[in-house]
Each structure stands twice: as C-alpha cells, then as structure tokens.
A = this chain, B = another copy of it.
Amino acid sequence: MRETDLQIDADGQLLHFLTTEGLHKDLMLSILDTAESFITIGKREIKKVPLLRGKTVVNLFFETSTRTRTTFEIAAKRLSADVINLNPQYSSTSKGETLLDTVRNLEAMHTDLFVVRHGNSGAAFMIAKHAPPHVRIINAGDGRHAHPTQAMLDMFTIRAHKGGFEKLRVAIVGDIMHSRVARSQIHALTTLGTAEVRVIAPRTLLPAGIERLGVHAFTDMRGGLEDVDVVILLRLQRERMSGALIPSEQEYFNLYGLTEDKLAYADKDVIVMHPGPMNRGLDIDSAVADGAHSVILPQVTYGIAIRMAVMALLMGGQAPQSRPTRRTRRPATTGRRRG
C-alpha cells in the first residue's frame, strides 16, 4: 500500500496526514480553507473551540523539536483536546517492532491522534499502516522524507499573500538534498499548479534527478532568484559543515545566504519565507529576516491554524462557524485511488 492511498479513506476523506505527495488538490484546498476559518480563533478573546473535547492527542517525538511540538500542543489545546507529550529515547525503540509496541500501548489507552516525529523516513507511515481504525496519525517530520504540515502552512502563507499559485515563480533555497521540508513543499506547489518551482543549492546539496519532480534546478542565486515571487529558505544544518558538502559558513553565506543585494534579483513584491529556526548570518541576513518582504512570523501564526485544521479534518470535526464559503469542500474525485 502506498502512503497516498493509506492517508485517504474510501470516500476520499483524509484519514491520516503523512505526505503531500500524491495528495489531491481538492484535499489541499480543503486544508487551506479550514485553516482560514481557524485564523480568526487565534485573535479571539477566548481562543478555544470544543471540536476535540475529550480526545487525547499524543505528541510522540522520537526526535526532539520543541518548536514543532509546541505548535501542535497549542493547536490541540485550542481544539480542547487533552495533550500528552512523549519523547521516547531513540535507543529503546531502535527496533521497528519495539516502536510498534510503544505505539500499540498508547493506542490501547484509547488515545485518538498521534503526532509523530521520527528520524527514520517512513516511521509515521509504518505506524499508520498498523493503526487501529479509530486512530489518526500526523507525520510531523520523518527522516529526509516528508513534513507535510510545514508544507501546508507554507502554501497557506503563499496563498494569503499572493492570492493563488497559478502565476507564481517560487524558489526554494538551501540544502535540498537532506530536506524533508523541500520535498513536501515541491509536491504541494506542483499539485496546486504553481507556474514555476525552482530549487537553488550548491551542487553537492542538489539531489540527482531532482528535475523529475517538476522543478528547475539552479546552483546560483542570481539565476535562480530572477523575477521570483516567493523565496523559501531552508534551515542549513550546521552539522553539514563538518562534512565536505559545503566549504565554510562564510562562503555559504556569501553564495547562498539571502541578503538584500541578492533579493534585488527577485520581483519587487517578493515574499521571503523560512521554516525556522533561522541561522542569522548563515542562511539569511538579519536585514532580510526582519525586513519588509519577510513573512516569517506570519508563517508561525498560520502554522497553528494549519495544524488545527488538519487535526479537525482527521477527527471528523466541522470547522467553526466563521468558515469562509468561497471554496466549498468537495470530496476527492473517485477513481484516482488504489493506483
């Protein structure tokens, strides 16, 4: 069974949220629309809705990520769920069967939704494959594979600031090779009909055959950023430095760090995005991070709404009353599954 199939039920509804790869455009729009209805909740005097009252959400983070875990924790609590935070020691679950034992135990406690972060590609998929019918899985990042809620909050940000995708040139800059974020973004951008998706990286950080995903690859910022409407930076893992993949922090910043000078190649209304945490002076210059084109902090705000939306859709909850009606939720077209 493919993930694409596993995360959709027979009626085309979202069952788990594991990847943006193969996810139908209608479902992506449904997530974006639902998130939009939750944006207003964050601004209310009382920021809670009872959609997940009595549900137990387990943040199961085999890899530590305080930031991502916090966004899911806040999102779940605003939906009135009970939240359990767990950070199992990686070592004690190094064998797949023991990872499953851990998960089966939690499922036996009648928990409802797992938010899983794991260093191994495919971990969330494996958990979903073995989950009982009442349990839902969200992939909060698995190895180098996927980080779909990050991609969807990025799509939300682009739509909120640019209105749509069809006329846009979008460039993703940084360590494309090792980035689950880039992978999930590319699938989402192409599915949503983005006019042109580019990736920019040193040759050592560009995976071979990346063009097959429907993107244009660049190794220089001048060419890659030319006339783009959206720049999405990736966080450069400093540990890559120790290897031979990139020369030095200074040289990386000179060539690929986003400065105002390089940003001038882009469209004058370009927006700048970064999944955080930023390495100021390495992947981005502070003048850009805090500048007029930056939508980095709005991304964080939208991230809460996207996670609330995905949780609510998985748990079968209706979006709150203020849901916009400009896009109606259509069931995914049948006939595209079991491919």
| CB of A98 within 8 Å of the partner chain | yes
| CB of A180 within 8 Å of the partner chain | no
* Complex Cα gap A101–B286 (Å): 11
Q: With a 10 A CB-CB cut-off, give which of A46, A55, A105 has the most chain B CB atoms.
A: A105
| CB of A22 within 8 Å of the partner chain | no
Q: Which residues of B contact A84 (CB under 8 A)?
A: 70, 73-74
| CB of A97 within 8 Å of the partner chain | yes
Q: How far in angstroms is the closest Cβ of chain B from A317? A: 11
CB <8 Å contact, B280 and A97: yes
Taking A43-B110, A77-B82, A286-B97 as contacts, is the C-beta distance between A300 and B105 under 8 angstroms?
A: yes
CB <8 Å contact, B109 and A301: yes
* Complex copy number for this chain: 3
Q: Which residues of B contact A54 (CB under 8 A)?
A: 44-48, 78
| CB of A42 within 8 Å of the partner chain | yes
Q: Which residues of B contact A101 (CB under 8 A)?
A: 276-278, 280
Closest to A52 in B: B46
0/1 string, A253-292, CB within 8 A of B gives 1: 0000000000000000000000011101000001000000
Q: How far in angstroms is the closest Cβ of chain B from A272? A: 15
Q: How far in angstroms is the closest Cβ of chain B from A300? A: 4
Q: With a 10 A CB-CB cut-off, give which of A48, A67, A108 has the most chain B CB atoms.
A: A108
Taking A88-B66, A300-B105 as contacts, is the C-beta distance between A74 and B111 under 8 angstroms?
A: yes
| CB of A164 within 8 Å of the partner chain | no
Q: Contact partner of A82 among B74, B108, B301, CB < 8 A?
A: B74
* Complex Cα gap A108–B43 (Å): 11
| CB of A104 within 8 Å of the partner chain | yes
Q: Which residues of B contact A71 (CB under 8 A)?
A: 109
* Complex Cα gap A44–B74 (Å): 24
Q: Contact partner of A106 among B46, B70, B98, CB < 8 A?
A: B70
Q: Contact partner of A109 among B55, B286, B300, CB < 8 A?
A: B300
Q: Which residues of B contact A70 (CB under 8 A)?
A: 84, 86, 106, 109
Q: How far in angstroms is the closest Cβ of chain B from A165? A: 24
Q: Which residues of B contact A240 (CB under 8 A)?
A: none
0/1 string, A109-124, CB within 8 A of B gives 1: 1110000000000000
* Complex Cα gap A43–B178 (Å): 41
Closest to A112 in B: B47
CB <8 Å contact, A298 and B48: no
* Complex Cα gap A84–B71 (Å): 10
CB <8 Å contact, B109 and A74: yes
Q: Which residues of B contact A74 (CB under 8 A)?
A: 56, 82, 84, 109, 111
- 12 examples of A-B residue contacts, CB within 8 angstroms: A42-B109, A43-B110, A48-B54, A48-B82, A66-B88, A67-B105, A70-B86, A74-B111, A77-B82, A78-B82, A105-B277, A108-B299
List of 7 A-B pairs having minimum Cβ-Cβ separation, nearest first: A46-B54, A108-B300, A42-B110, A77-B82, A47-B54, A108-B297, A48-B54
| A46-B54, A73-B84 given; 10 more Cβ-contact pairs under 8 Å | A42-B109, A47-B55, A48-B53, A56-B78, A71-B109, A97-B280, A101-B277, A105-B276, A108-B301, A109-B304
